Amino acid sequence: MAETLHGFPFWLLTFDKNGQPTDAGAVDAFVSEVASRQISDLFIFSHGWNNDKTRALALYERFFEQMRFIMDDNRHAKKNPAARIGLVGVVWPSILWPDDEEGASMTTVVVPTGAGGAASLTGAPAPAAAQATPAQLKAELKKVYDAPQQTLIDELAALLEKQPSTNAALEQFQATLAQLLASEGSDGQLDQKQPDLAEGAIGTLSPDRWRDLLEVLGTRAMSEAGSSGGAAGFGDPFKKLWSGAKDALRIATYWHMKQRAGIVGREGLGRQALARLAQDAKSTRVHLLGHSFGARVVSFSLAGLPQQLTGDRSPVKSLFLLQGAFSHYAFSDRLPHDASRSGALKGMAARVDGPLLTTHTLKDTAVGRSYPAASFVNRDDAAAAQEQESRWGAMGHGGAQAVAASSEALAAPGKQYAFKKGKWLNLDANQVIVHGGFPSGSHSDIVHPHTAWAALAAAAIV
């Protein structure tokens, strides 16, 4: 049964890590109600690294409130004033690493000002999150992992707690981490040179390479945490190495979540929901939105559509990625640095019968933190930072790449974008998505009138 969110009918779709609905009846009811209510435009939004329903709902409530402000603002003409809008929030099991608390998005509030429903930002950027203890990490990770995996997490957390000053202990950590990585990950063959797959092979590094990686990760982590006293450990080499080991665990678990997002998107949202809508709610236009790993969820949902649903036969009429935390080459026909490989979603843009757009900002520091691991696995750690960024970069950092994308600045409501069906538009958000502190920067600062307007504009409603 649909609920109501800011005056719009709202459905919640919940999937497990394998993309199976936690309540199959809820999917049946959702498809039936979308059809019976004659919803013309359905906005489906997936969260990223949130680990519970409460956080996901908070994001949806805030983002769709901005959409309501715009729809109620009579100063902006509507291209489709008769649109019957429906909303969907996707919930899937993903971890929020405690050290990466969502800075600005939870403390910077977007509020309406004036009768017209315009909005402005209030509040100050959030302070840096405190460094999580091994016990806190263990508690959070266990929320989204199965029992056998939890045993491995216990072992890893115990080593992080004790931090033995021996190489044998660091090698034991790597071996256990390798077991955790192998317990869940890519549902295909692991190609370490493929963007979004490289980090999954950090458990296979030689002892010398593993120690080198810990040196790099530890130095960076302790430098970033210097303001809270972390720099004091630079005199103790093992303290730095264990700091690197903690970051290696973060990278490993985020790699799991990134791969899980693809499975949830394809097997869950795509095959269980979008394909059903295409069959039973043929007049409904679907608009996909995703934040962080959620951008991967909605992107991979395209791969779950039946092959014949391309062009104007596809129910998907726009795709909007907000600070996507996956490869900026995902949709490319071939990788610029390796013509023998293509993006994981090659050809899937044809399943969007409308514009494809993504925000990007250099102030999002979360999307670039796996570069060292990816480069070490592929033995190109000596490459310049710019080259690492090119090979392993994320959507949220520089937009979609190798897809002939055009570019415009993310602008306030009223902006008329030059959208083209089946074409990418990179929205430069360096002046808008800016709030947030260490370590994730502005990664979660996505709730703005600007982003809500872009979503409605891509749907040809405003």
Phi, psi of 42 (to 5 degrees): -115, 115
What is the number of structural domains in the chain?
Answer: 2
Cα–Cα nearest to 89, from 51, 52, 59, 109 = 59
| Residue 300 near residue 274 (C-beta atoms within 8 A) | no
Has residue 24 got a pLDDT over 80? Answer: yes
C-alpha 351/C-alpha 327 separation (Å) is 19
Instruction: Say whether both 390 and 400 belong to one domain.
Output: yes
Which of 233, 257, 281 corresponds to the end of one domain? 257
Could you tell me the pLDDT band of residue 124, with boundaries at 50, 70 and 90? very low
| Residue 62 near residue 106 (C-beta atoms within 8 A) | no
Could you tell me the pLDDT band of residue 128, with boundaries at 50, 70 and 90? very low
Instruction: Say whether both 23 and 147 belong to one domain.
Output: no
Print the domain residue range for 206: 134-257
Which of 191, 223, 257 corresponds to the end of one domain? 257
| Residue 446 near residue 363 (C-beta atoms within 8 A) | no
C-alpha 431/C-alpha 446 separation (Å) is 12
Instruction: Say whether both 337 and 417 belong to one domain.
Output: yes
Cα–Cα nearest to 283, from 18, 4, 26, 35 = 35
227-286 pLDDT tens trace: 444 444 556 789 999 999 999 999 999 999 999 999 999 999 999 999 999 999 999 999
Both tokens assigned to 178: 């390798």
Instruction: Say whether both 222 and 301 belong to one domain.
Output: no
The full DSSP string for 210-235 is HHHHHHHHHHHHHHHTGGGTGGGGGG
pLDDT for position 230: 47
Instruction: Say whether both 116 and 240 belong to one domain.
Output: no
Cα–Cα nearest to 457, from 66, 79, 9, 10 = 79
Residue 249 burial (CB count, 10 A): 23
Instruction: Say whether both 190 and 316 belong to one domain.
Output: no
Instruction: Say whether both 252 and 313 belong to one domain.
Output: no
Residues whose CB is less than 8 angstroms from the CB of residue 77 and which lie 6 or more positions away in sequence, other chains included: 462
- CA–CA distance from 330 to each of 4, 216, 342, 402 (Å)? 35, 27, 8, 9
32-50 pLDDT tens trace: 999 999 999 999 999 998 8
Which of 209, 237, 257 corresponds to the end of one domain? 257
Could you tell me the pLDDT band of residue 127, with boundaries at 50, 70 and 90? very low
Q: What is the longest distance spanned by two Cα atoms in the chain?
A: 68
**Helix, strand and coil in the chain, % to nearest 5:** 45, 15, 40
Instruction: Say whether both 158 and 16 belong to one domain.
Output: no
Could you tell me the pLDDT band of residue 153, with boundaries at 50, 70 and 90? very high
Out of 82-86, 132-136, 399-403, 436-440, which region has the weakest mean confidence (pLDDT)?
A: 436-440
Instruction: Say whether both 16 and 152 belong to one domain.
Output: no
Instruction: Say whether both 198 and 112 belong to one domain.
Output: no
| Residue 461 near residue 83 (C-beta atoms within 8 A) | yes
The full DSSP string for 344-409 is TTTTGGGG-SS-EEEEE-TT--GGGTTHHHHHHHTT-TTS-HHHHHHHH-BHHHH---SS--EEEE
Q: What is the mean pLDDT of residues 137-166?
A: 96
Could you tell me the pLDDT band of residue 383, with boundaries at 50, 70 and 90? low
Instruction: Say whether both 8 and 85 belong to one domain.
Output: yes
Instruction: Say whether both 77 and 217 belong to one domain.
Output: no
Has residue 118 got a pLDDT over 80? Answer: no
Cα–Cα nearest to 261, from 134, 95, 98 = 95
Through-space distance between the first and last CA atoms of the chain, rounded to whole angstroms:
28
The whole model's pTM is what? 0.92
3-state SS, residue 454: helix
Could you tell me the pLDDT band of residue 126, with boundaries at 50, 70 and 90? very low
Q: What is the mean pLDDT of residues 319-330?
A: 97
Q: Exposed/middle/buried for 125, CB within 10 Å: 0-12, 13-18, 19+?
A: middle
